[in-house]
Structure 1
Amino acid sequence: MLSMVLGAVVGICVYAISRTGGTYLFAITGGLAGVLVAVGLDAYRRAGRLTEVRVTVPQLSELTFVVNNDARQVAWQLFVESVTRVSVQRLEDDEGLLREALTSLHGLFATTRDILKVSRPSTHATGGLTVEYLAVNFLNLELRPLLTKWHPRLRTFELAHPDRPESEWAQAEECRADLRDVQAHARDYVLAFARLAGVRDAEAMTDATDLQQRSVRLPGQAPS
């Protein structure tokens, strides 16, 4: 109903303008153009508006970041890619495979880099850091050292002993210990991405165990 009314009003305005000539026509046209420009500029300012966000991440302490809508979208993509992988889910000694975990982290490294490559650089703001800064540190301080150290070592064992389970690998326990440390740090980075993106209930989304233990009704799910 509202759309019909608005359509009728627009139609009457267009007809009235078309019947107007001379100076009045130019004045009305100029006024409408000014309104459209003002609306466009306001939308642009809203999209580019910078917001300060304070987050705490391992090895970096508490930092102040500045984000706009573009940066929030990048942070959201990084959060989704991270939270859906083994990177933030603790792998106990009797659970899962190290090969699967390292492969997942390697994929996360590549995906994070690809997201940054296709995204526009954040708007520069004095005194604030950007989502790219956080993502690059996540790659270089957490993922890269783990993958560089353990990926080739596990591969060497697999090639030398193709019929033996990785549980017989002499360095399996040490590798799992390092993996747990990185997963703990990665969780803080993932929550930082969520904070920059403005995600609500990020901790519940990140902690799969907590999600299973609590009676959380997902969107569209009927009450139990």
Structure 2
Amino acid sequence: MLKVKTVKAKVPWVGEVEFETVQSARNAAWKLYVEMRTRIVTQQLDDDQGLLREALDSLYALFGLTRGILKDAGPDVGASPKKSVGDIAITFLNEGIRPFTATWHPKLRAWEAKCPEGRSAKEHEDQWPEASQMRQELRQLNQELTKFANALARIAGVPLLSTETQAQD
């Protein structure tokens, strides 16, 4: 038996949505939420922390993970006549993440190819003239991805995993 639930959420790159969803869609939203909130892309990455390559790889991994979650969930996640979890997730990939990765993957890859022998990836990345610009844009994306993850929590019908994120909505 399918249980239908009306959901309202403000979703970055999509806007305000209201739709009826079934348990499989809520489950998919929960899985996507967990993937988002446990990655560096929804955590603050200070200038002296981590590698930009790792952040890019984490963002890129969301494409495969999201596809898998949606495929496993089946067609119910796309069944809403207006917006659906599937539609929101695909929009998030194509309009939220893809522009950032399409810009920064090739630029960072070109810089990484110039790394002298004996220099660590961190040392080389710290010397990259575009590192601060990429980190700034990553922080902006981080804010939108956190809002997106919080919208997924609402869709899944679960409380946010952190009270800190509530202040960012």
TM-score, scaled to structure 1? 0.66
- Single out whichever of 143-152 and 162-171 deviates more from structure 2: 162-171
Residues 125 and 81 from structure 1, CA distance in 2 versus in 1: closer, same or farther, beyond 3 angstroms? closer
Relative contact order higher in (CA < 8 Å, ≥ 6 apart): 2
* Structure 1 runs, 4 residues or longer, greater than 6 Å off: none
Among candidates 111, 119, 122, match of residue 73 of structure 2? 119
Matches of residues 9-158 of structure 1 in structure 2 within 5 Å?
44=1, 48-122=2-76, 124-126=79-81, 128-158=82-112
Question: Which whole-Å deviations, capped at 9, do the CAs of 1:132-185 have from their partners, x for residues lacking one?
Answer: 011111101111111111011111111112435201101111111111111111
Long gaps (5+) in structure 2: none
Q: Give 1:57 shift.
A: 1.8
How far apart, CA to CA, are the structure 1 residues paired with 2:49 and 2:14?
31
Amino acid at match of 1:177: Q
Query: What secondary structure sits across from 2:36 in the alignment?
Result: helix
Contact 2:21 2:80 in 1 (8 A): no
Question: Could you say which residue in structure 2 is the equivalent of 1:161?
Answer: 115
How far apart, CA to CA, are the structure 1 residues paired with 2:145 and 2:163?
14
Contact 1:187 1:206 in 2 (8 A): no
Q: Give 1:125 shift.
A: 4.0
How far apart, CA to CA, are the structure 2 residues paired with 1:154 and 1:87?
17
Residues 108 and 57 from structure 1, CA distance in 2 versus in 1: closer, same or farther, beyond 3 angstroms? same
Query: What secondary structure sits across from 2:153 in the alignment?
Result: helix
Contact 1:49 1:68 in 2 (8 A): yes
Long gaps (5+) in structure 1: 1-43, 208-224
TM-score, scaled to structure 2? 0.86
Number of residue pairs the alignment of both structures matches: 159
How far apart, CA to CA, are the structure 1 residues paired with 2:80 and 2:146?
27
Q: Give 1:206 shift.
A: 7.1
Higher helix share: 1
Question: Which whole-Å deviations, capped at 9, do the CAs of 1:176-203 have from their partners, x for residues lacking one?
Answer: 1111111111011101111111112x05
Quote the RMSD (CA, aligned, Å).
1.8
Question: Aligned residues: percent identity?
Answer: 38
Contact 2:13 2:92 in 1 (8 A): no
1:173 partnered with 2:132: yes
How far apart, CA to CA, are the structure 1 residues paired with 2:125 and 2:150?
31
Query: What secondary structure sits across from 1:150 in the alignment?
Result: helix
Question: Which whole-Å deviations, capped at 9, do the CAs of 1:9-52 have from their partners, x for residues lacking one?
Answer: xxxxxxxxxxxxxxxxxxxxxxxxxxxxxxxxxxx1xxx12211
Computing the radius of gyration from Cα coordinates, the structure with the larger value is 1
Residues 119 and 125 from structure 1, CA distance in 2 versus in 1: closer, same or farther, beyond 3 angstroms? closer
Q: Give 1:61 shift.
A: 2.2
